[in-house]
C-alpha cells in the first residue's frame, strides 16, 4: 500500500509539468469557488450593514399597502400622541418613538455682531429620546434632548454646517432653525451623534441630521371639532418601534397592527380607509437583501463550480493519457506480480494526490485571494466617491464553502481517477506487454 503510494508519487514527479498543469486546473477551480463565496459573503455582510437602519428589533410603522413587499408611506399624518402612549404599553413593544417631519429652510448662528447662515431645505426629525435607540444612534458628545425644551441633537457631519470659515458647531451652541415661513426658532445643541459606521446613499437618506423634541418644535395638527371648540391634535406620519427582543418581533408587529385597527386607536379615524397600517421590520429588510444577495452569490458560485468540474475532467483526461501511454509498463508490472488491485491503486492514488494537493493549494490561494478581491471591491467602491457605499468591507470567510470546495476537490480527484484506473487494471497482461 505504502509502496504503491510511493510509486504513484514517483510517477507524478517524473511528469512534473504535466502534473503541475493538471494540478493548476484543480487549484483554479477550488480557488475560484472559495474566492467567489467568501467575497460574496463579505460583500453581503457589508451591504447588509448598509441596510441596518434600525435596531435589529426595530420597525417603522406607517400607512400604505400591506403585502409582500409592503408599500409604506410616511407622509400621511395619522398617529396621535395618544396612540404613541398606548402603543408603548403593549407587552412586546419595548420603546416607541413618533416621527414628526419638520421641513426647515436653513440654519442661522449669531455671535455678538457676527452672523452665519446656511440656507438649504432639510428635514428635522421631531420625536422623543427613544428614537436614538430605534435608529441605533449614539450620542458622542453631550446628552440627549429633553422634551419641552428648546434642545436639539445634531449628527456628526452637521458640525461643519457653516463651512470652513464659519465656527464649528459644538455642544452648548445656540442656533436658529429657519422655518418655511422664514421665522426662526431657537435651538440649543445639547448633543452630537456618533458618525455611523458605514456611510452610504441608503443610510444617508434614512439618518436624521437634526433631532428635536416634539414639544416645542413639532406643529402639525389635525383639527377636531368637539363641542364647538376646535381641538388641535398633534399628528405624526410614522412611528418607530422596537420589540422587547429578537424572538418577539412578530408579536410586537401583530400587537401594533392589532391596536391601530382597534377602536381605541386614533389613527384609524384619520387614516384613508383604502389604505392599511403597514409595519416594516428591520428583520424583513435584511431578509429581502439577503435573499437577493444569496441568489447572486449562488449564481456566481455555480459558474465557479463549473471550473472545478473542468478541473476534474482535466484530471481524468490526463490520467487516461497516462494510462494509455504506460500500457506496456502496466503489462510489466502485471508480469512481475502486480495484481489488478495494485495497478488500480497506483493510478487512483495519482489522481487522488492531484485532487488533494489541488484542494489544499486551492484553499490556501482562495483564502489569500479573498483578501485581495475584497480590497479590490473596496477600492472600486471608493472610486464611485462613496456615493453608493463606502467604508471597510469586512472579510468574512464562507467556511462551509471552503470545506465543501476542498472536499469536492478531493472527491473530484478520486472520481476522475476511477475510470482510467479501471482501464489500467483491466488490461490483459499479454496484450499490454506487446504494446509499443
Partner 1 sequence: MNKEVVIEARGLTKIYPSGDKEFKALDDISLKIYRGEFIIIMGPSGSGKSTLMNIIGCLDRPTSGELYIDGRGITGLSDSQLAEIRREKNGFVFQSFNLIPNLSALRNVALPLSFKGIAKSDRESKAREMLKKMGIEQWAQKLPSQLSGGEQQRVAIARALANDPAVIIADEPTGNLDSAIGKQVMDLLRVISKEGKTILLVTHDANLVKYGNRMICMRDGKVISGKTIRRTK
Q: Considering only residues 70, 142, 166, 429, which one is a binding residue for partner 1 as defined by CB under 8 A?
A: 429
CA atoms within 13 A of residue 349's CA, in its CB half-sphere: 18
Residue 365 Cβ vs partner 1, minimum distance, rounded to whole Å: 29
Listed in sequence order, the residues at least 6 apart from 294 whose beta carbon sits closer than 8 Å to its beta carbon are 44
Range 5-34, binding partner 1 (CB under 8 A): 7, 10-11, 14
Question: What phi and psi, each to the nearest 5 degrees, are found at residue 3?
Answer: -70, -40
CA atoms within 13 A of residue 126's CA, in its CB half-sphere: 23
Residue 433 Cβ vs partner 1, minimum distance, rounded to whole Å: 7
Grid cell 497506483 in the structure block, residue:
346
Q: Does 341 bind partner 1 (CB under 8 A)?
A: yes
State whether residue 39 is helix, strand or coil.
Answer: helix
- Are 391 and 43 in contact by the 8 Å Cβ rule? The answer is no
Grid cell 426658532 in the structure block, residue:
185
Site track 375-414 with partner 1 (rule: CB under 8 A), x = hit: ----------------------------------------
Three cell numbers at 333? 508490472
Q: Considering only residues 47, 333, 398, 410, which one is a binding residue for partner 1 as defined by CB under 8 A?
A: 333
Binding piece for partner 1, criterion CB under 8 A, among 182-190, 195-203, 336-344, 372-380: 336-344
Q: Does 340 bind partner 1 (CB under 8 A)?
A: yes
In 7-83, the DSSP E strands lie at 58-65, 71-73, 79-80
Residue 295 Cβ vs partner 1, minimum distance, rounded to whole Å: 50
- Are 105 and 80 in contact by the 8 Å Cβ rule? The answer is no
CB closer to partner 1, 321 vs 368:
321
Q: Does 297 bind partner 1 (CB under 8 A)?
A: no
Residue 9 Cβ vs partner 1, minimum distance, rounded to whole Å: 12
Residue 336 Cβ vs partner 1, minimum distance, rounded to whole Å: 4
Q: Does 286 bind partner 1 (CB under 8 A)?
A: no
Three cell numbers at 401? 464553502
Q: How far apart are CA 261 and CA 273, in angstroms?
A: 11
Binding piece for partner 1, criterion CB under 8 A, among 21-29, 179-187, 329-337, 355-363: 329-337
- Are 205 and 53 in contact by the 8 Å Cβ rule? The answer is no
Q: Does 332 bind partner 1 (CB under 8 A)?
A: yes
Q: Considering only residues 278, 304, 334, 424, which one is a binding residue for partner 1 as defined by CB under 8 A?
A: 334
Q: Considering only residues 215, 251, 290, 342, which one is a binding residue for partner 1 as defined by CB under 8 A?
A: 342
Binding piece for partner 1, criterion CB under 8 A, among 176-184, 199-207, 245-253, 428-436: 428-436
Binding piece for partner 1, criterion CB under 8 A, among 260-268, 276-284, 340-348, 355-363: 340-348
Q: How far apart are CA 335 and CA 25, in angstroms?
A: 35
**Burial grade of 216 (CB within 10 A; 0-12, 13-18, 19 or more):** middle
CA distances from 65 to 68, 70, 71, 75, 263 (A): 9, 6, 5, 13, 20
Listed in sequence order, the residues at least 6 apart from 424 whose beta carbon sits closer than 8 Å to its beta carbon are 323, 326, 330, 343, 344, 346, 347
CB closer to partner 1, 6 vs 89:
6
Q: How many residues bind partner 1 (CB under 8 A)?
A: 24
Residue 333 Cβ vs partner 1, minimum distance, rounded to whole Å: 7
- Are 225 and 171 in contact by the 8 Å Cβ rule? The answer is no
Q: How many residues does the chain have?
A: 436
Q: Which residues bind partner 1 (CB under 8 A)?
A: 3-4, 7, 10-11, 14, 328-329, 331-342, 428-430, 433
Amino acid at each position: 500500500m505504502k509502496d504503491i503510494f510511493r510509486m504513484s508519487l514517483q510517477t507524478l514527479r517524473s511528469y512534473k509539468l504535466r502534473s503541475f498543469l493538471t494540478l493548476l486546473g484543480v487549484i483554479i477551480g477550488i480557488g475560484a469557488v472559495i474566492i467567489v463565496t467568501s467575497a460574496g459573503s463579505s460583500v453581503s455582510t457589508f451591504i447588509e450593514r448598509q441596510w441596518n437602519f434600525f435596531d435589529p428589533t426595530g420597525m417603522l410603522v406607517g400607512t400604505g399597502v400591506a403585502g409582500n413587499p409592503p408599500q409604506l408611506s410616511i407622509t400621511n399624518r395619522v398617529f396621535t400622541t395618544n396612540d404613541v402612549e398606548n402603543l408603548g404599553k403593549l407587552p412586546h413593544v419595548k420603546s416607541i418613538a413618533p416621527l414628526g417631519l419638520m421641513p426647515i429652510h436653513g440654519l442661522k448662528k449669531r455671535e455678538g455682531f457676527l452672523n452665519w447662515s446656511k440656507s438649504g431645505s432639510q428635514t428635522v426629525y421631531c420625536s422623543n429620546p427613544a428614537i436614538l435607540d430605534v435608529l441605533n444612534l449614539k450620542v458622542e458628545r453631550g446628552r440627549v434632548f429633553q422634551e419641552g425644551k428648546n434642545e436639539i441633537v445634531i449628527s456628526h457631519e452637521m458640525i461643519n454646517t457653516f463651512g470652513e470659515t464659519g465656527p464649528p458647531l459644538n455642544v452648548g451652541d445656540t442656533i436658529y432653525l429657519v422655518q418655511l415661513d422664514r421665522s426662526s426658532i431657537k435651538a440649543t445643541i445639547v448633543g452630537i451623534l456618533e458618525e455611523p459606521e458605514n456611510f452610504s446613499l441608503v443610510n444617508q437618506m434614512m439618518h436624521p441630521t437634526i433631532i428635536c423634541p416634539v414639544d416645542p418644535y413639532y406643529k402639525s395638527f389635525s383639527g377636531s371639532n368637539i363641542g364647538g371648540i376646535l381641538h388641535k391634535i398633534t399628528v405624526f406620519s410614522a412611528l418607530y418601534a422596537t420589540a422587547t427582543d429578537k424572538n418577539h418581533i412578530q408579536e410586537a408587529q401583530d400587537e401594533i397592527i392589532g391596536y391601530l385597527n382597534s377602536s381605541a386607536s386614533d389613527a384609524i379615524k384619520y387614516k384613508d380607509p383604502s389604505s392599511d397600517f403597514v409595519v416594516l421590520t428591520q428583520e424583513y429588510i435584511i431578509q429581502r437583501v439577503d435573499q437577493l444577495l444569496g441568489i447572486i452569490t449562488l449564481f456566481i458560485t455555480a459558474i465557479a463550480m463549473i471550473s472545478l468540474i473542468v478541473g476534474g475532467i482535466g484530471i481524468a483526461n490526463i490520467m487516461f493519457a497516462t494510462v494509455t501511454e504506460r500500457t506496456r509498463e502496466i503489462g510489466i508490472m502485471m508480469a512481475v506480480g502486480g495484481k489488478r488491485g495494485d495497478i488500480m491503486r497506483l493510478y487512483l492514488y495519482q489522481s487522488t494526490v492531484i485532487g488533494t494537493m489541488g484542494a489544499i493549494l486551492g484553499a490556501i490561494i482562495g483564502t489569500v485571494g479573498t483578501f485581495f478581491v475584497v480590497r479590490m471591491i473596496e477600492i472600486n467602491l471608493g472610486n464611485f466617491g462613496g456615493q453608493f457605499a463606502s467604508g471597510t468591507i469586512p472579510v468574512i470567510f464562507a467556511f462551509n464553502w471552503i470545506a465543501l470546495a476542498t472536499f469536492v476537490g478531493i472527491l473530484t480527484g478520486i472520481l476522475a481517477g476511477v475510470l482510467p484506473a479501471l482501464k489500467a487494471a483491466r488490461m490483459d497482461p499479454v496484450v499490454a506487454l506487446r504494446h509499443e
